[in-house]
């Protein structure tokens, strides 16, 4: 197994986590926070939109079974990457679209994928997904992990 980590922001992490869990080759997914300036943030703090953190998922995957490019396709199919700081009814920088890359290869793949999306015309508006180095990941409170499995999809 060739274990790698990917970190994505795409709005509320509950649905994003569920989407990535269903991908063959993904070995684990955790909901959490990244990209801000508050250490050990809580959900309540992140929801104030003052910590700088985004709700994210940290995806552990077997690169021999699923590629980073395939995970990017899941990301694009999971949210609208053209709406800054908003996904559906959720508003604030904590819901921003983000790829936090762990390697130069992930950075190059994310940038190339955004270029392909832009040229394709798939979205009417420009893609605003931030592509930045992976910061420290803070795992969200346990009640956020596998949320839809525990509570069903609402």
Segments of the chain scoring below 50 in pLDDT: none
Query: Is 12 annotated in the active site?
Result: yes
Number of domains observed in the structure of the chain: 1
> Among the options 4, 7, 8, 12, which is catalytic?
12
Query: What is the tens place of the pLDDT at every residue in 103-124?
Result: 999 999 999 999 999 999 999 9
Query: What is the tens place of the pLDDT at every residue in 28-49?
Result: 999 999 999 999 999 999 999 9
Six-digit token string for 87: 């996904």
Cα–Cα distances in angstroms (integers) from residue 34 to residues 18, 24, 98, 112, in the given order: 19, 25, 10, 23
How many helices (H) and strands (E) are present in the chain, helices listed first?
A: 5, 8
Six-digit token string for 112: 């190339």
Question: Are 60 and 1 a contacting pair, CB within 8 Å?
Answer: no
Give the Cα separation of 8 and 71 in Å (integer). 10
> What pLDDT score does 154 carry?
53
Residue 125 sits in a domain of what CATH number?
3.30.1060.10
Q: Helix 68-78 vs helix 13-21: angle between axes, to the nearest 10 degrees?
A: 140
- Percentage above 90 pLDDT, the chain: 88
In terms of residue numbers, what domain contains 21? 3-151
């Amino acid at each position: 197994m060739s274990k790698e980590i990917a970190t994505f922001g795409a709005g509320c992490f509950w649905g994003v986590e569920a989407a990535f869990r269903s991908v063959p080759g993904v070995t684990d997914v955790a909901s959490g926070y990244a990209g801000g300036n508050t250490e050990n943030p809580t959900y309540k703090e992140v929801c104030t939109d003052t910590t700088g953190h985004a709700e994210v998922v940290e995806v552990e995957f077997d690169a021999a079974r699923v590629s980073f490019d395939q995970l990017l396709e899941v990301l694009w199919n999971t949210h609208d990457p053209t709406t800054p700081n908003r996904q559906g009814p959720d508003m604030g920088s904590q819901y921003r679209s983000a790829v936090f890359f762990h390697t130069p290869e992930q950075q190059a793949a994310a940038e190339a994928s955004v270029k392909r999306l832009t040229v394709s015309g798939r979205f009417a508006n420009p893609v605003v997904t931030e592509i930045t180095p992976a910061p420290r990941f803070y795992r969200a409170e346990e009640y956020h992990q596998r949320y839809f499995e525990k509570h069903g999809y609402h």
